[in-house]
Amino acid sequence: MTIERRQFLIGSGAALLGSAVFAGTAHAGPTHAEPLHAGMPNIDTSGLWRELAANPYAHPRIPNVAFAGYRTGRRPPRPAVRANVLRYGAKPDGSADASAAINRAVEDVGRRGGGTVLLPAGTYRIDDIVRIGYSDVVLRGVGSDRTTLFATRSLEEIVGVNRSRYGGTSSAWSWSGGLVWVCHRDRFRGLVDAIKAQRWPFEGWTGNAGDETTLLARIVEHADRGAFELTVANGAEIVGGQRVLLQLDDDGDYGLFKHMCGDIPGTRTYKWSDKTKLLSYRPFVWPVRVESVRGNKVRLAQPLPLDARPSFNPRLTTLVPPITGAGIEGLTIRMVKTVRPAHLRDKGYNGLAFQCAWDCWADDVSVVDSDNGFLLVSAKGVSLLRTRVEGRGQHHSYACREQSHDNLVQDFAIGAFTEPPTPGSGHHGINVEGLSCGNVWSRGRMDAGTFDTHRGLPFANVRTEITIHNDGAHGGSADAGPLYGARFTHWNVTVTNGRAGCVKIDHVAPLSATAGISEVTEFGQIDKPDFTGPLDSVLESYGTPVEPRNLHQAQRALRHR
């Protein structure tokens, strides 16, 4: 078998998380000496894959994720250097706060239309948030082993106490914000002002007040999941290349939520009315680029993730200004080391957050000793490439929330804790929640955590070609609704400690596919189905890997045929 240079092949003797993984600037990516499921029987060709190849955009159990990541899967650019933080007064020896100098450099480059802000080798102390508030600005170190941002204060110390908008005493820094925060400058100011006033704003695509959109066109004909073309009443306000927001309302019978679960019979007896957090997520919003407009026919750049039914009041609208074309590269974000607090009491030692970011990326970025590593909050088409979380225990190493769609986490690693977790602190690993869909975790090594699905009815997400020491647990409050919507897919996963929970999901996730996972055993049931009756899910090649090895890569190859 040929092993590609950048392929994340998993072997029992591989030592992924050593310092050599991201060393230097060649960026060849980590490799492994042995194939996935080393020593197991020969790889089977997947029957599910044959079905998918015949019906790539509307398979009943497997989502199409061929459009995930920056610019639907393109390689991020390398814009020219326009500023060096040393010329703005930043000290690379950690002796003084460099956040103001970095932020001035970012603003200067942003005002001039974009480019790269260079962080030469060294350690830069940051006592404040590093804000990437302009599109087309890249913050670039010279390698995660050579450039470090050393964060001395938490978000709570910098901004203030941040209570959850859902009530109670939980700290919202447990799942939001970053000490490097990619968010449009105007939106960022509004967020910070609201938090300081103890008024938690909306986090999503419709603005801090939740109503900052303008109608562009109503969709007047039913369009099936997987369709590229919409019929609108009037396409005069829409042009090719435009970024728009597809909005879908629920009907009076929770029909949209039922559809997200595949319209299985069990959704009819599920109690939707008391799921107050889930109900607050409506409408469903999905950012998408328009490919072309011909009269009243609007062609999208990617296929619909759900039906656009007349009963859902489907429409295309504007969205709040996203930040686009921004990148973070070649650096480590290290926190001053603290003891991990109890669950939901995090102070906000958070690494990198992308909020209302579209077509952005991080490459060769590590986060050390954090509460949360990488947060995708209302993010679309973000690529996290060759990223890593390690050090003391985290709440989420990676979280994808608040209607985040079509993001790609590829060649990622979560290290084993450097110290035992604080009792009751919890670790969720890689999390997706809040009606998020189309997201992919590919080619990863997890020495801690789990495949967390944090309620809030995420659907149509993929985890593929991952090795995991499965020791975490899913989260999510009861009022956030189901753990899984339809078309979750776990494809070629090796569980090193044999624990089934959150990985083998055929008994809990409706219309799902679990293919090519290693044999696992329940160690106390932590996944319980939300719906009665048949789930119509599939378990394929249990204990035996399948071909194609990586579902995301195979779908991309099929798309570009």
Q: How far apart are CA 338 and CA 179, in angstroms?
A: 15
Give me the half-sphere count of Cα atoms (radius 13 Å) on the Cβ side of residue 389: 31
Q: What is the CB-side half-sphere exposure of residue 470 using CA atoms within 13 A? A: 25
Lowest mean pLDDT among 147-156, 187-196, 456-465: 187-196
Amino acid 22: pLDDT = 34
Q: Residue 124: CB partners within 8 Å, gap ≥ 6?
A: 85, 90, 91, 92, 94, 98, 102, 147, 148, 149, 150
Q: Give the mean model confidence (pLDDT) for residues 103-117.
A: 98
CA dist 459 → 176, 186, 225, 348, 462 (Å): 21, 31, 13, 28, 9
pLDDT at 524 over 80: no
At residue 345, the pLDDT reads: 86
Give the pLDDT confidence of 430-463 residue by residue, as tens digits: 999 999 999 999 999 999 999 999 999 999 999 9
Structure tokens at 44: 């089977």
Nearest to 380 by CA among 461, 468, 439: 439
167 pLDDT tier (thresholds 50, 70, 90): low
pLDDT, position 21:
34
Instruction: Give the pLDDT score at 45.
Output: 80
Reduced to 3 states (helix: H, G, I; strand: E, B; else coil), residue 479 is: helix
Contacts with 531 (C-beta within 8 Å, 6 or more apart), sequence order: 261, 264, 266, 267, 269, 270, 482, 510
The predicted-structure confidence for 346-389, as pLDDT tens digits, reads as follows 999 999 999 999 999 999 999 999 999 999 999 999 999 999 99
Average pLDDT, stretch 90-113?
Answer: 98
Distance (Å) of CA 202 to CA 64, 278, 321, 379: 29, 14, 14, 14
State pLDDT tens for residues 44-61.
788 999 999 999 999 999
Residues 33, 547, 497, 489, CA torsion sign: positive
Task: Say whether pLDDT at 195 is over 90.
Answer: no
Q: What is the pLDDT of residues 254-306, one digit of tens each?
A: 999 999 999 999 999 999 999 999 999 889 999 999 999 999 999 999 999 99
Confidence at residue 425, expressed as pLDDT on a 0 to 100 scale: 66
pLDDT digits (tens, 9 = 90+) for 140-152: 999 999 999 999 9
Q: Tens digits of per-residue pLDDT, 498-512? A: 999 999 999 999 999
Q: Could you tell me if 495 and 522 are in contact, meaning their C-beta atoms sit under 8 angstroms apart? A: no
Q: Looking at residue 187, what is its pLDDT?
A: 86
Are 323 and 356 spatial neighbours (Cβ–Cβ below 8 Å)?
A: yes
256 C-beta neighbours (distance < 10 Å), count: 22
Q: What is the mean pLDDT of residues 236-244?
A: 97
pLDDT of residue 6: 30
Predicted confidence at residue 476, as pLDDT, reads 87
What domains lie within the chain, and their CATH numbers?
A: 49-203+322-559 (2.160.20.10), 216-288+298-317 (no CATH)
Q: For strand 215-218 and strand 315-317, is the pairing parallel, antiparallel, or unpaired?
A: antiparallel
Higher pLDDT, 42 or 206: 206
Other beta carbons within 10 Å of 35: 17
pLDDT at 191: 82
pLDDT on residue 340: 86
The 10s digit of each residue's pLDDT in 302-356 is 999 999 999 999 999 999 999 999 999 999 999 999 988 888 889 999 999 999 9
- Average pLDDT on 521-543 reads 89
